[in-house]
Amino acid sequence: MATVAARTAQRVLASDLAQHTGEQVRIEGWIHAIRKFGAVNFLVVRDRSGMAQVVLEPEDVAPLDGLQVETVVAVYGTVEEEPRASHGVEIRHARVEVISPVTDVLPFELNKKKFKPTLDVFLNNAPVGLRYPTRQATFRLYSDLLFGFRDYLDHRNFVEIHTPTMVGAATEGGANVFQLDYFGRPAYLAQSPQLYKQIMVGVFERVFEIGPAFRAEEHYTVRHLNEYNSLDVEMAFIESFHEVMDLLIELLEHMVQTALERHPHDAELAGMQMPRFGEVPRLKFRDAQRMILERYAEDRSNDLDLSPQDERWIGEWAAEEFKSDFVFVTHYPTSKRAFYTLPDPEDPEHSLSFDLIFQGQELVSGSQRVHRYDQLLQIMEQRGMNPESFAGYLQAFKFGMPPEGGFAIGSERLLMRLVGAENLRETTLFPRDVNRLGP
């Protein structure tokens, strides 16, 4: 057991042990592995910074008999150089104190190089599975991406906002919403903060939000969930929607670079590299369909949207012709875009909208918005929408709104593409889909 000195010594993280060579220290963490060899035994302790190797005498192993990995311990000992150990040091002359014992067998092994559970088994045991080093690395990188998102926008005078997720009307005016009882009257989980961030453009000119979005769609795909975290940006006094696309590319590049710089070891562990940006091409929707016909002999001229296969083909085209992992598709049919999307004045059947495709998969949707009050009312009337249901939203436009536009990034989908995951559920902490409402 640990001595009084062990309990009072200042805690040192595994990654900082080399700075304390020759000193007595205390580390705390989870037992990642126990290796018993008789005369020389090893304990690997994991904390938030990495792994620490501890050398135990035979008598020091006794307190661990019957305990499983993931037992929480405090270890007191002397830091000595050992080039073969993590961080080039190990702890010797150690004493171990058990803080939280674990006696049950884990649902899967966390200390193997290859993580073997199926996705369902992992998700059912996510509170434990998320401790696996590669999963830790993935979600630490996710945190870095969000840090980079905020950092870039903060330095360009955007204001972070937080808007309601319970609303009185469907954001997009559609049926794919979760309805709930709000003290006897209907309410909905927001499909996005779209209407509120447009309102706030009338206050701050430039705003952003990181928050949940909900879609009541019965998807059974590897790229869709019913709840996800959306990275929303809106900006006013734009000359055209090309300004919005320019900012988006700079923002994404900054986000990825931030993650790579903050935690390079995690990036290596998770397989994340800087994607190829280059000169990101911009391809109109109709031109994309013509390209698909010419290149792949598939006629998409009657389609009003891109299929997943179309996106993959467009991604291949961008990679081969422009050496870029990204491509914008612009000018989608106005009828297939939300009511607030601005029709192209020179071609009203198509809108000043865009999707950013990343490695063959849609990542971002955005557009220039309708900013004139009379035009919004006309569009709502044409679509059979009740303006009274959007009274608060319309008030912002009734009393003056500048030309503006914005976009929304699917954050988990971005992470999925960056680390090469095959399923969005691998890059979502606790995914919610048609079949999953826990843990």
Which of 92, 131, 223, 282 is flagged as catalytic? 223
On the CB side of 248, how many CA atoms lie within 13 Å of its CA?
29
Torsion on CA atoms 111, 115, 120, 126, rounded to nearest 10: 40
The closest alpha carbon to 337, from 309, 364, 305, 313, belongs to: 305
CA distance 33 to 105: 13
Q: Output the CA–CA distances (angstroms, integers) from residue 311 to 259, 307, 355, 403, 432, in the order listed.
A: 26, 6, 10, 30, 25
The closest alpha carbon to 250, from 161, 149, 319, 157, belongs to: 149
Q: Output the CA–CA distances (angstroms, integers) from residue 28 to 13, 25, 90, 439, in the order listed.
A: 8, 10, 14, 27
Q: Output the CA–CA distances (angstroms, integers) from residue 163 to 31, 79, 156, 174, 407, in the order listed.
A: 42, 50, 21, 20, 16
**Which phi and psi (to 5°) does residue 170 adopt?**
-65, 130
Which of 413, 417, 425, 426 is flagged as catalytic? 413
Scan for tokens 């994340």, then name that residue: 272
Q: Tell me if residue 218 is catalytic.
A: no
Scan for tokens 């937080």, then name that residue: 162
Return the ∠ at Cα 162 (arms to 137 and 153), rounded to 5°.
Answer: 60
Q: Tell me if residue 365 is catalytic.
A: yes
Which of 57, 97, 217, 316 is flagged as catalytic? 217
Q: Is the peptide bond before 439 cis (omega within 30 degrees of 0)?
A: yes
Q: Tell me if residue 20 is catalytic.
A: no
- Would you state the structure tokens that stand for residue 232, as one six-digit string? 């929303």
Spell out the residues 6+ positions from residue 7 whose beta carbon is closer than 8 angstroms to its own: 26, 74, 97
Q: Tell me if residue 417 is catalytic.
A: no
Which of 131, 224, 262, 282 is flagged as catalytic? 224
Task: Judge contact between 16 and 26, C-beta under 8 A.
Answer: no
Query: DSSP labels for 160-215?
Result: E----SEESS-TTSSS-S-EEEETTEEEEE-S-SHHHHHHHHHHHSEEEEEEEEE-
Which of 32, 215, 331, 425 is flagged as catalytic? 215
CA distance 287 to 302: 13
DSSP label at residue 11: B
Q: Output the CA–CA distances (angstroms, integers) from residue 138 to 56, 142, 418, in the order listed.
A: 32, 6, 10
Q: Tell me if residue 224 is catalytic.
A: yes
In this structure, the strands spanning 166-167 and 72-81 are unpaired
Which of 192, 365, 367, 411 is flagged as catalytic? 365
Give catalytic residue positions: 215, 217, 223-224, 362, 365, 413
